[in-house]
């Protein structure tokens, strides 16, 4: 008894630390929490829609499998369609993808705060502690979602889950630890200008694409309503259909980026939707597709597209002017910013598109490399003009002339 009462404080601290769950164990629990919460919400929503749809011939088990498959789609896991050897469904509803990422980021942030992480090494450990079990659990979800008609790949789910889980957990942990400045510190100073400036183009283009889609939907509201009514679903099922449309809005906005920048987009093999004209076939009865262009863009829409491109280039050039580079260094920053803008846009467009089923629906969305290349050139041209005017002191001179 005397020995127990007189144990050194260090020994007591060691026992407390040993009794505390390890970071890796808590990371596995955080990953399990994010997956269970996301799946639970999806399963409940799908079961409600299934139960209220009198025309549904599926069983409750098949409805739950559909919810798991939708969750996998949010991770860009391809679903192989039985009976069609080369047919896959790989359109990720990016609205759902963002919601899943926010859940994982929340889990990473809570873990980082609970572990008192305050450095980049700790952030990396948190990302791995959440991302690795998240990927493994995603593979188990893929195995559970395997049905007679749709067959997701557990290996693809492992890779996609690992990538999304690690990236989202790192984002959450980074913000919780307040290490955004530390992350910037490890990036070479030479890359600060092109990275910071180039990243400004995509939000402008995507925001304009979203406005264009919503405007077109408002103009074709009657067609969208007719498409929804043609499915013959009940009120709840129609609400679920509208929710699916909402989850696909970011995909539509990124397809519209292809329309704004010039290359256009496709809604099936052999189709083309561009400002210069439309080549189309019959489309699925999805209300969101009522926003698809019906013919060549009117003059007002073409002017709007030019304004959007100018605004994206202006945003890049306005950020570049803050970096005091001159000569070839300034040219390098400009080219780098254009390349970053094009690369980010290409990645986003690639994530938004993909095969949407067998046959002609195997091609949906804009071409990533075409949109990325065109965006880089257009943004670079406008940004060069903005930087040149800013370096020449044009805004100050214009104000001085106005005063005189």
167-222 confidence digits (pLDDT tens): 999 999 998 888 766 667 677 777 888 898 999 999 999 999 999 999 999 888 88
Instruction: Report yes or no: 290 and 339 within 8 Å, Cβ to Cβ.
Output: no
Question: In the prediction, which pLDDT does 84 show?
Answer: 66
Which residues of the chain are modeled with pLDDT < 50? Answer: 1-20, 398-402, 404
**Gap between the Cα atoms of 32 and 29, Å rounded:** 5
Domain ranges in the chain are: 20-186, 195-399
45, 59, 68, 285 from 54: Cα distances, Å: 16, 12, 22, 19
Question: In the prediction, which pLDDT does 325 show?
Answer: 65
Mean of the per-residue pLDDT values for the chain? 84
pLDDT (tens digit, 9 = 90+) per residue, 312-368? 999 999 888 877 666 777 788 889 999 999 999 999 999 999 888 777 778 898 999
> Encoding tokens for residue 38?
């996301």
Question: In the prediction, which pLDDT does 57 show?
Answer: 64
Question: In the prediction, which pLDDT does 19 show?
Answer: 34
Count of beta carbons in the 10 Å neighbourhood of residue 88: 21
DSSP track, 268-323: STT-EEETTEEE-----S-GGGGGS--SSPPHHHHHHHHHHHHHHHHHHHHHHTTS
Question: In the prediction, which pLDDT does 159 show?
Answer: 96
pTM over 0.75: yes
To the nearest 5 percent, what fractions of the chain are helix, strand and coil? 70, 5, 25
């Amino acid at each position: 008894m005397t020995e127990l009462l007189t144990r050194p404080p260090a020994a007591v601290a060691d026992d407390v630390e040993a009794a505390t769950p390890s970071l890796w164990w808590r990371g596995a629990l955080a990953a399990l929490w994010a997956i269970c919460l996301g799946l639970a919400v999806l399963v409940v929503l799908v079961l409600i829609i299934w139960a209220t749809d009198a025309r549904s011939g599926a069983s409750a088990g098949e409805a739950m499998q559909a919810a798991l498959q939708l969750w996998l789609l949010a991770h860009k896991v391809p679903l192989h369609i039985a009976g069609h050897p080369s047919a896959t469904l790989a359109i990720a509803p990016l609205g759902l993808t963002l919601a899943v990422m926010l859940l994982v980021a929340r889990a990473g942030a809570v873990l980082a705060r609970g572990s008192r992480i305050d450095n980049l090494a700790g952030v990396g450990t948190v990302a791995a502690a959440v991302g690795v079990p998240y990927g493994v659990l995603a593979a188990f979800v893929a195995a559970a979602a395997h049905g007679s008609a749709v067959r997701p790949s557990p290996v693809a789910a492992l890779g996609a889950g690992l990538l999304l889980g690690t990236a989202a957990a790192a984002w959450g942990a980074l913000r919780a630890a307040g290490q955004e400045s530390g992350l910037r510190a490890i990036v070479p100073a030479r890359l600060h200008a092109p990275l910071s400036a180039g990243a400004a183009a995509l939000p402008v283009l995507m925001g304009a694409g979203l406005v264009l889609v919503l405007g077109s939907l408002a103009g074709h509201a009657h067609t969208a309503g007719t498409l929804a009514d043609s499915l013959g679903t009940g009120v709840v099922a129609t609400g679920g259909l509208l929710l699916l449309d909402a989850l696909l809005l970011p995909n539509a906005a990124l397809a519209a980026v292809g329309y704004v920048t010039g290359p256009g987009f496709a809604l099936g093999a052999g189709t083309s939707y561009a400002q210069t004209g439309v080549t189309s076939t019959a489309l699925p009865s999805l209300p969101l597709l009522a926003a698809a262009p019906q013919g060549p863009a009117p003059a007002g829409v073409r002017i709007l597209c030019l304004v959007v491109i100018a605004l994206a280039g202006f945003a890049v050039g306005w950020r570049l002017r803050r970096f005091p580079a001159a000569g070839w260094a300034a040219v390098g920053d400009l080219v780098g910013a254009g390349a970053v803008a094009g690369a980010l846009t290409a990645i986003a467009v690639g994530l938004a598109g993909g095969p949407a089923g067998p046959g002609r629906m195997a091609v949906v969305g804009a071409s990533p490399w075409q949109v990325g290349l065109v965006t880089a050139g257009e943004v670079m041209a406008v940004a060069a003009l903005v930087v040149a005017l800013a370096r020449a002191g044009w805004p100050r001179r214009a104000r001085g002339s106005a005063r005189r």
